[in-house]
Amino acid sequence: MKLEIRNAAFSYKNDRRIFEDVSFEVSAGDVVAILGPNGAGKTTLLKCILGILKLEEGEALLDDKDIRKIPERELFRRVSYVPQAKNTTAGYTVLDTVLIGLAAELSVFRSPGEAEIERAKVALRELGIEHLIDKHCNKISGGELQMVLIARALISSPEVLILDEPESNLDFRNQLIVLDTLTKLSKRGIACIFNTHYPSHALQRANKAIILSDGHTVCGDVDSTITAEAIEKAFNVKAIINEYNDGENSVKTVVPLSVIN
């Protein structure tokens, strides 16, 4: 599998360029983090990758095929999307929500059967949340709902998982659960692309990074892309990058120190 973005540019009608000249490749097992200040175009870039929005320039390719020309059912069997866990699926049970992930496989006239229900159970079991199967989504925590949405995306066995701020609005424990899940999925060969407000999460979990800021873009391997200088330029803050080691784990973190006026 190869997902490739070539010289991509996008602007909304009668507006400035949101981003331009964005180029990167994603292969099986890659974890790609997209960072940038509010309004930089992170979610817009995800929608362009998915073909929901049309690039003004450049192209998005999946195995050298234009994503917008791939039949929708085929595309969404190979690429799954996880939205932010806010105001979604409230009226459904966890099981029903996960089964929605098979919409690209099931015909309009066919309801999920035992085989599909078993696949949903497997997806929930892999994420450690099978005990939630009969609960309604408006009765579980934000972290649990985020995991349910990931299970919904995984039930179709995608090659690429695209996530919109998967760890936002979660407490520390649930953030770690989501990040650990991305790491596990990448080890299974699933490519993960996520946008985030947390540069430290990108440093700790991604192998590639993209920083969007004021129409400018920096792409590359995570350690050379996420630097104190790059953070200062993109976010207009003075920052340092520290590394902590407790004898078992080594963790990098980005610490913002002050706003640059």
pLDDT per residue as tens digits for the range 192-204: 999 999 999 999 9
Task: Estimate to the nearest angstrom the gap between the alpha carbon of 236 and the chain centroid.
Answer: 25
User: In whole angstroms, what is the distance from residue 38 CA to residue 15 CA?
Assistant: 16
What is the reported pTM?
Answer: 0.92
Q: How many domains does the chain have?
A: 1
257 near 241, Cβ under 8 Å? no
The whole domain housing 98 covers 2-259
52: CATH: 3.40.50.300
pLDDT attached to residue 250:
86
Burial class (CB in 10 A: 0-12, 13-18, 19+), 41: buried
Q: Which of 216, 165, 161, 195 is nearest to 9 (CA)?
A: 216
Angle at 207 between CA 175 and CA 196, to 5 degrees: 40
Tell me the pLDDT tens digit for each residue of 3-23: 999 999 999 887 788 999 999
171 near 200, Cβ under 8 Å? no
Residue bearing the bigger pLDDT, 90 or 49: 49
Q: How many Å is the Cα radius of gyration of the chain?
A: 19
77 near 71, Cβ under 8 Å? no
Q: With a cut of 80, say whether residue 85 has pLDDT above it.
A: no
pLDDT attached to residue 261:
78
Residues whose CB is less than 8 angstroms from the CB of residue 41 and which lie 6 or more positions away in sequence, other chains included: 10, 18, 19, 212
pLDDT attached to residue 133:
96
Q: Please give the biggest Cα pair distance in the chain.
A: 60
E strand segments, the chain: 2-11, 17-27, 31-35, 57-62, 65-66, 79-82, 160-164, 191-195, 208-213, 216-221, 237-245, 250-259
Residues whose CB is less than 8 angstroms from the CB of residue 66 and which lie 6 or more positions away in sequence, other chains included: 59, 60
Tell me the pLDDT tens digit for each residue of 178-223: 899 899 999 999 999 999 999 999 999 999 999 999 878 999 999 9
Q: Are strands 208-213 and 31-35 parallel, antiparallel or unpaired?
A: parallel
E strand segments, 94-202: 160-164, 191-195
